[in-house]
Structure 1
Amino acid sequence: MQPEKKISFDSISTLVTPIRLILGWQFFSAFLRRVINDPEKLDPNSPAYMGHAFNHFLPHALFIKPMIEFLITHVHLLYIFLFTFTIIEGLVGIGLILGLLTRLSSLGATLLSLGILLGSGWLGSTCVDEWQIGIAGIGCGLVVMCFGGGLFSIDYLLLKNRTSKILRLLTSGPFDLNSVQIRNIALIFSIIAVFITLFTYQALHNGLYGKLYNLSKVPKIEILSANLYDNGALKMILYRVDGPDTYGAFVRQIIVSNDSGNIVETFDPNETNVDKSKIKNFYFNKIEPNKYSLVVPLGAKAEIELLPTQNIKLERGKYKIELIDVSGLKWEKYININ
C-alpha cells in the first residue's frame, strides 16, 4: 500500500487562481470603465453619471434604502461616495489579480458584492442578472478568503516565510487550524452564502414560492397623492418604482373623469404646456417634460402641478385620475373634491 501523499496548503489554494483572477478583473474593470474608458460615468453633469444608476436602485433596495435616499438627496455626498466606491473597487481588483493582501481584498470583494446585491439585485429587464452578479461575487469572495492567493501570488513570493497570524489573516497561507475547525468554518460560510442566496431570491424576485416576478420589466408609476381643485388644477406626487432602468416611462396624457365615467378634463403634458417651475423633484433622477410627453425615469419622484386647460367648475364628488403611457400602460388613482 502506497503511503498517502501530502499536498501543501499553497498547492491546493493555487487551484482557486482562476476564481481569484476573474473576480479581480470584475472589480478592476469597473474601475477602468469609470476612470479611463468612460469617464462621463463620474461626471455629475453627464447623462451617463453613475448617480442616475444609483437612484435606480432606490425603489426596491433591501436594508440600505435609507442610505441610498440620503445620498441621492445630497448630491455632493453622492459624488464623494461614488468616487470612493470606484477607488475601492480598483484596489480590490488589483489586490485579487496580483494576489496582494489577498484575503483582505477578497473580503472587500465579498462586501462590495453584498452591497451590489442589496441595492440592485432586483434589476435586470430580461433576467435576474444583477442578483446573479451579487451572489456569485459573494460566493467567490468567501472561497478566495479561505484559500488565499496560492503559489501564483505576490503574497506567496514576499510573505511565504512569515509566521505572523495577522499577516495570514490579511494575505495568504495556511491557518493554524485542525480539521474540525476547518469543517466548522466551511459549514458557517456555506450557511451564510446559501441563506443570502435564498433570502434575496425570495425577497427580490419571489423565486422560492409564489409567482416569480421581474420588477424591472414593465414600467410602473405610483400616484402617491393627488389633489384636484374645483377650477380644474391638479397637483400630484408621482414615483416611478418599476420597469427598466435604461429608459423612462413617457406619460403622454392625463385624464380626469367623474364618478359617472365622463371625462371632465384632459392634460397633454409636454414641454409646451407644462411649467417646469411647477415640478418639484425630490431625488437625483428628475421628472421632466420633453417635446411629446412627461418623462419619468426609474426612481424619480416629484410633485407636479398642472394648471387647468380651460375654464371649468368641478362639483364636489369622486374623480378618477388616469395617467396614460405611450406604450398604452395606465395608472390611476381615485380622489375626492370636498
Structure 2
Amino acid sequence: MWRAAAVAMLSIRVIQGFIYWGGGSRRFIYAPSKLNPDAPTWMANKFQTAMPGALFGSDHLISVMLQHFWLLYAGVILFSAAELIVGAMLMTGLLTRVAALLSMGFAVVLMAMFGWQGATCIDEWTMAACNLAMGATLLLGGSGAGSIDNVLMRRNPALASKSWFRWMAGSLPLPVKDTTFRNLALAVLAFVLVFNIGTYSYYRGSVFTPFHSGPVSPTKHHLALSAARLLPNGSVRFHVYLDAGTPEAPVHVVAADLLAGDRHPVAHWGASDLSALPKAAFANDYAYNKFAAGPFGVRAPMGAAATVTLPPPRATAGQPRDARFLRLTDVDGRSFSVALEGGLPR
C-alpha cells in the first residue's frame, strides 16, 4: 500500500518540484534580466507591487529591502537559488521531506507577500495555497518510487534503520507509530486549513462573511495622501503612496485642486500642468517603481511612493491662502483628498 501511494504521488512531487525549479531557472537561465537591476523586469519592481497588501509585517521588510540595495540583491539571489535547488530536489526525490518542508515555507512567504494580488481572482493565493497543500502531502508521504532517496537506500541498506534519514528522506514511512502518524497528519492538515482558509477569508471573505474586495483592492487604484502643506511661495508639497490597485496598469493623476473649507476649488492644476512637472518635483521613496510626469498627467506603477511638489498655480478661482484641502483626481474619475497642514502666511 505504501508503494502504491508512492507511485500515485509521483505527479505531485515532480510538478511541485517543477514549479519551484521553474521560478529559479527563469531568473538564472531563461530570463536573467529579472536579476538585472537596470532592466525593467528587475525583481525589485515585482516586490514593490506586493508591498501595499503584504501580511504579517512583510510590507515593512520589503520596504527595508527596497531601501538597501545590498540586502535586496542578496535576498533575491538567495531566494531564487533556494527555489532552484529545492525544485531540483523534489523532482529527483533527493531528501524529499526536507525539500517538501522548505517548499511549504516558500508557499507561506509567497502567500504573505503576494497572496492579495489578482485582478479577476486571487491568482497568487491560489498558487501558494495549492503549493502549501502539495508540500504538506510530500512531507508526510515522502518520495517513494523513482527517487534518489531510494537509490541511496539501495546502495546503503543501513540507512533504512536510521531515524534521521527517514525523517529527511522519503523512501519509507516516518519512524513513528500509526497513532502518532495520524495525529501528525491531522496537525499538518489543521495548519494548512487554518492558513489557507484564514487568508482567503481575510482577502475575499466568502467563508464566514459575504464576498468582499479585501482590505487592499487588487483592481481599483487608491492614493494615500499625507503631509500636504502650502509653501510660502504658493507651491504645494505632499506625500503620496499608491497603496492599492493592479500592478498590470499604472495610475494616471489628471488633476489636482486646492479646496476651501466648503470644498470649493480655489486653485487647479490640469493634466497639461502635471505632465510638465520636472523630475525635481518628485522625491521618490524607492529607486524602482516611481511617480513621474507622464503624457496624461502624473503616472505611477503599483507601490510607488513619493513627496511631490506642485508649482504655484497659474490661475486661481479664489485665494489659495483660503485652501484647506488638497484633492487629486485620477483618469477614472476617482478623487483622493487630504487636509492641508498649516497655511500660507497672511
TM normalised by structure 1 equals 0.91
Q: CA-to-partner distance for each residue in 1:277-299, whole Å, 9 max, x for gaps? A: 23111123211112332112111
Residue among 79, 82, 98 paired with 2:76: 82
Q: What letter is aligned with 2:296?
A: Y
Partner of 1:183: 182
Residue among 126, 148, 154 paired with 2:120: 126
Partner of 2:26: 33
Q: What letter is aligned with 2:164?
A: I
Partner of 2:17: 24
Question: Is residue 325 of structure 1 aligned with residue 324 of structure 2?
Answer: no
Q: What letter is aligned with 1:135?
A: A
SS of the aligned residue for 1:57 comes to helix
Change beyond 3 A, Cα 1:258–1:230: farther
Shift of 1:146: 0.8
SS of the aligned residue for 1:224 comes to strand
Contact 1:316/1:337, CA 8 A, preserved across alignment: no
Q: What letter is aligned with 2:310?
A: L
Question: Is residue 110 of structure 1 aligned with residue 108 of structure 2?
Answer: no
State the alpha-carbon separation in 1 of the partners of residues 323 and 341 from structure 2.
4
Contact 1:229/1:314, CA 8 A, preserved across alignment: no
Partner of 2:165: 167
Question: Is residue 196 of structure 1 aligned with residue 195 of structure 2?
Answer: yes
Q: What letter is aligned with 2:199?
A: T
State the alpha-carbon separation in 1 of the partners of residues 233 and 210 from structure 2.
46
Residue among 302, 320, 329 paired with 1:298: 302
Contact 2:267/2:320, CA 8 A, preserved across alignment: no
Report matched runs for 1:1-338 at 5 Å.
7=1, 9-63=2-56, 64-160=58-154, 161=157, 162=159, 163-172=161-170, 173-208=172-207, 209-214=209-214, 215-229=217-231, 231-268=233-270, 273-283=276-286, 284-310=288-314, 314=319, 316-335=321-340, 337-338=342-343
Change beyond 3 A, Cα 1:119–1:207: farther
State the alpha-carbon separation in 2 of the partners of residues 68 and 10 from structure 1.
44
Larger mean CA deviation between 278-287 and 232-241 belongs to 278-287
State the alpha-carbon separation in 2 of the partners of residues 337 and 37 from structure 1.
54
State the alpha-carbon separation in 2 of the partners of residues 331 and 272 from structure 1.
19
Contact 1:20/1:96, CA 8 A, preserved across alignment: yes
Computed over aligned residues only, the root mean square deviation of the Cα atoms, in angstroms, reads 2.0
Higher helix share: 2
Shift of 1:318: 5.0
Partner of 1:4: none
Q: What letter is aligned with 2:63?
A: E
Q: CA-to-partner distance for each residue in 1:302-325, whole Å, 9 max, x for gaps? A: 111111133778465453322111
Identity %: 24
Q: What letter is aligned with 1:107?
A: L
SS of the aligned residue for 2:332 comes to coil
Larger mean CA deviation between 174-183 and 191-200 belongs to 174-183
Q: What letter is aligned with 1:164?
A: K
State the alpha-carbon separation in 2 of the partners of residues 10 and 91 from structure 1.
26
Count residues in correspondence: 331
SS of the aligned residue for 1:69 comes to helix
